[in-house]
Amino acid sequence: MNDLIEVRGLCKRYAGFALEDVSFDVPKGYIMGFVGPNGAGKTTTIKSILHMIEQDAGEIRLFGKNPQTDMAEITDKIGVVMDAPFYAEDWTMRDVEGAVSPFYSQWDTKRYTELLSRFHIDKAKRVKELSRGMKVKLMLTVALSHDAQLLILDEPTSGLDPVARDELCELLCDFVSDESRSVLFSTHITGDLEKIADYITFILNGRIVFSGLKDDLMEAYVVVKGGRNELSAAQKKGLIGLREHGTGFEGLAARADLASLPKGLLTEPITLEELVVYMNKGAGGHA
């Protein structure tokens, strides 16, 4: 089994929004970044994978099993960090361990204590006394304390400072270093993914735009810049997310399409954040 997550034709419809035919795989031994603007469908996809909501159509496999029927067995192998903890506000860190440890056959109290210490979380503190960033660290501590084979993270870095985010990225790289574990990492802080992700799945308006090697995605597009009158109307239409200003323009172009543009235009490598912004603008900003 080379893919720890397999999603095929996933559909979920709400009033005003729908996931349509979402398909991708998370291969064993790698970090998959899951990106897209707010409302693009990332959290809905993750909740469907975890069987927190019922999909309308499609097939999901975790470790080759169906989460609709085998979630109890699957849960033992997964660590999950969502945007908010599920723990009672009055629980201490000892209470958290007492509540969650019975659900995991490989729970490691020593590992839990070591990670709390590493993240500077006092065992006597209550959940309600933790900052947003510290709550994220607590969820990560639980996720890493039961020998999980798969981590699923939905916006875990949004409440963390740069030092803590860098530490998280190091932890994730260590987690997959034995090539038997995987991470699905959804975040708006795309700079973190540029450093550590091997694969990217990009969702826009409920549909997958790209899923594959990060380097393939980053090499497929460039930012193009030039003067106001250097492009024809037809050439402008060929750029994604075109921005025009007083002295010229800039937009996203597929590297394969550069031959159709005038010579002498300035081209620059794309960042993952720029790619998401340009693609969203090119789609009308409706994601």
**What rounded mean pLDDT belongs to the chain?**
91
102-111, 118-127, 276-285: range with lowest mean pLDDT: 276-285
**Residue 273 near residue 190, CB atoms below 8 Å:** yes
The residue-averaged pLDDT of 233-261 equals 90
The pair of structure tokens assigned to 34 is 């899951």
Confidence of residue 85 (pLDDT cuts 50, 70, 90): confident
**Phi first, then psi: what are they for 110, rounded to 5°?**
-65, -45
The neighbour count for residue 131, using CB atoms within 10 Å, is 10
Q: What percent of the chain has pLDDT over 70?
A: 98
What CATH number has the domain spanning 3-214? 3.40.50.300
pLDDT of residue 287: 38
**What is the C-alpha to C-alpha distance for residues 29 and 8, in angstroms, rounded to an integer?**
20
* Chain segment 174-220, per-residue pLDDT in tens: 999 999 999 999 988 888 899 999 999 999 999 999 999 999 999 99
pLDDT of residue 231: 87
Structural domain spans, the chain: 3-214, 218-282
Picking from 154, 162, 172, the residue whose alpha carbon sits closest to that of residue 35 is: 154
pLDDT of residue 285: 44
The residue with greater pLDDT, 117 or 158, is 117
Q: Residue 229: is its pLDDT beyond 50?
A: yes
The residue-averaged pLDDT of 38-42 equals 90
3-state SS, residue 133: helix
* Chain segment 254-283, per-residue pLDDT in tens: 999 998 888 889 999 999 999 999 998 887
Picking from 12, 8, 67, the residue whose alpha carbon sits closest to that of residue 40 is: 12
pLDDT of residue 284: 56
3-state SS, residue 264: coil
pLDDT of residue 145: 95
Q: What is the pTM of this model?
A: 0.89
Confidence of residue 131 (pLDDT cuts 50, 70, 90): confident
